[in-house]
Amino acid sequence: MTSQTAIVRDATEASFAADVVEASRTRPVVVDFWAAWCGPCHQLSPLLEAAAQRHAGEVDLVKVDVDQAPNLSRAFRVQGIPAVKAFRDGRVVAEFVGAQPAAVVDRLFASLAPSPADRLAEAAVAAASDEDRERGFRAALEEQADHPVAVVGLARLLADRGAVDDARALLARVPADPDARRLVAELEVRGQAVDAGELAALRARAASGDARARLELGQALAAAGEYDEALALLVEAARDPELRPEARERAVEVFRLLGDADARVRTWRPRLAAALY
């Protein structure tokens, strides 16, 4: 818990998107749909505000007067009040209707607040040294073995010190996490690095028309961070039926490393598709 003052605000139809939907992408928001004439609403309100105070800085509380926001009431199917809906990442993740006892309210806020592993991982991310970060990530993983932030954070520290196999084993705990998938791709790409002499030899072979050398040069350039030149070579290699599966795999690894929002991915992905088909 924190010693901060709870954030409790009134939202209107005009401000709801910012105050609730977008704000919930940063931290959870509990919305209290209420009305001044509603007796049970006045019974529930102090319980919500007390819970928000206990979780200040972790969960926000927003109040919506249904008489002033009929469109929101319809959009969220509010048929009785008080109606409480919890938002995380822009969507409703929990809700209840009617005046509830303090225990129910407390359980709702507790389910939304950061877990002990969340707090440890967050502190580790902000730590000043690699030693402190590693200690924090390991402590978070003792609380939750598959905590994605702690897994990825510790895996990156391990990879940077050369313990790549240990990093890969750790990342296998969270195979669906986007950041973990990106780091796995980064490790695969980095594993194709060559020294300056080998790079020069690959350039010479590729210039002479060696298709395999073009593929290997593309891999090596990707490992060096020369992504545009690397992708051009990998896409060209994908036109060769014998090299196509390997070239496609290497190009896709680069796409994963860069992320879908990267302009180079948007440029080269359709070109790879054209080369494959």
From the list 113, 157, 118, 159, the residue with the least C-alpha distance to 135 is: 157
Q: What's the gap between Cα 39 and its chain centre?
A: 41
Active site residue 34: no
Kindly state the tokens that stand for 163: 């313990």
71 is catalytic: no
Cα distance between residue 90 and residue 27, in whole Å: 10
Do the Cβ atoms of 153 and 124 come closer than 8 Å?
yes
Token pair 């972790």: residue: 58
Q: From residue 235, give the alpha-carbon distance in Å to each of 223, 230, 258, 275.
A: 16, 9, 16, 7
Q: Please identify which of the residues 6, 20, 38, 140 carries the catalytic annotation.
A: 38
Exactly one of 41, 61, 206, 230 is catalytic; name it. Answer: 41
Name residue 83's amino acid.
Answer: A
Q: Report the catalytic residues.
A: 38, 41
